[in-house]
Amino acid sequence: MPRAGTPWGLFAVIGSWQQAHESGGGAPRYERPADLDAALRRLAEGGWTPLAGGTDLYPAHVGRAVRESLLDLSRLDALRGVRPFGRAEAAGWHIGALTTWSELARAPLERSLAALRQAAREVGGVQIQNQATIGGNLCNASPAADGVPALLALDARVELASVRGRRELPLDAFVLGNRRTAIAPDELLTAVMVPRRSPRARSRFVKLGSRRYLVVSIVMAAAGVDVDENDCVSRCAVAVGACSAAAVRLPAVEAAMSGVPRAALAARLDALSPAEAFAPLAPIDDVRGTAAYRRHAAIELVRRILAELASDEAVGVELGGAR
């Protein structure tokens, strides 16, 4: 698909605007700012909806008019790409908000970010991955957003910008619930920051759906593990998506893994009470699965991820890319 703001996307918006105008609504506005400062000035005026890849906005308007005034961000090249930043403990990866999932899947990410690469390859199909952005995925805040569990397990933070300045938030303080975030009306999400871990760190993401591609998740799980010189867990982060209004971490599971030999990760999980370990989950019944099935599946996916991270085979999976 072409980027928003190219003729295909623009024609779709213009046709919808014409429909809205002929039906008696006020004419929406469209602007494609050349740089971030210009975009932030427009947002400060109020009444604008930012448009990134458009893969959530356009399908939501099938059969009805687009009545929002759209601020097309496709010219903001400064918000694209993946680059390292900082040194020592403050080092990490800076991911521009307009970076597409295809670009993330191809980026030369280190082994500790394998979960993010794997999630990138599970977002819709290839056409969606070529157009959809990491920033749009987070701002849309779907409970089944594929990027959120992996980024939670990697301790990601988001950068927000406005004419008032910039601020950072942990991802779990940004995504607040179903389609709810902490972003202000005059702010743009400009980047995602992921801290760098030791060379021994690794991560994994798994998605359960009714088919391989172009499917809304039934359950997703991600985990990130770092170990010390003795191959014992020094950090463990586990997140589950599509089982609550927003993806959540599992603090009881994480705490139980501290100091455990890496080879014993799955066995340690099996020793925990599922009711306590997975208490943060609040799955629902819907057309994709029952709440009971989702809870059972979440437990199984987390167990599989930890078993894989516990084995030497995990290294080969991560270095070879997501499956």
Of 20-34, 46-60, 308-322, the least confident = 308-322
259 to each of 82, 231, 253, 256, how far by Cα in Å?
32, 9, 13, 8
CB atoms within 10 A of CB 198: 12
For residues 204 and 220, give the distance between their C-alpha atoms in angstroms, rounded to a whole number: 11
For residues 218 and 207, give the distance between their C-alpha atoms in angstroms, rounded to a whole number: 8
- Write the DSSP assignment of 188-246 as a string of letters: EEEEEEEE---TT-EEEEEEE-SSSSS---SEEEEEEEEE-TTSBEEEEEEEEESSSSS
Q: What angle do CA 72, 181, 148 make, to 5 degrees?
A: 90
Structure-token pair, residue 78: 């400064």
Per-residue pLDDT tens digits for 190-218: 999 999 999 999 999 999 988 777 788 99
Mean pLDDT of 89-106: 94
Length of the chain: 323
Give 11's contacts (C-beta < 8 A, 6+ positions apart).
Answer: none
Percentage of the chain modeled with pLDDT above 90: 79
Whether the pLDDT of residue 311 is over 50: the answer is yes
Q: Where are the alpha helices (DSSP H) in 68-198?
A: 101-106, 114-120, 126-131, 134-140, 147-153, 171-174
Per-residue pLDDT tens digits for 270-283: 999 999 999 999 99
Structure-token pair, residue 62: 């099938």
pLDDT attached to residue 7: 37
Identify the burial level of 67 via C-beta atoms within 10 angstroms of its C-beta, where 0-12 means exposed, 13-18 middle and 19 or more buried. Answer: middle
The residue type of 257 is M
pLDDT attached to residue 314: 45
pTM over 0.85: yes
Helix axes 291-310, 313-320, angle to 10 degrees: 100
For residues 156 and 93, give the distance between their C-alpha atoms in angstroms, rounded to a whole number: 10
CB atoms within 10 A of CB 29: 13
SS percent in the chain: helix, strand, coil, step 5: 40, 25, 40
- Residue 311 DSSP code: S
Whether the pLDDT of residue 11 is over 50: the answer is no
Place of tokens 């516990």: 310
Considering only CA atoms, which of 101, 114, 104, 105 is closest in space to residue 222? 114
- Pairing state between β 48-51 and 69-72: parallel
Mean pLDDT, the chain, rounded, equals 89
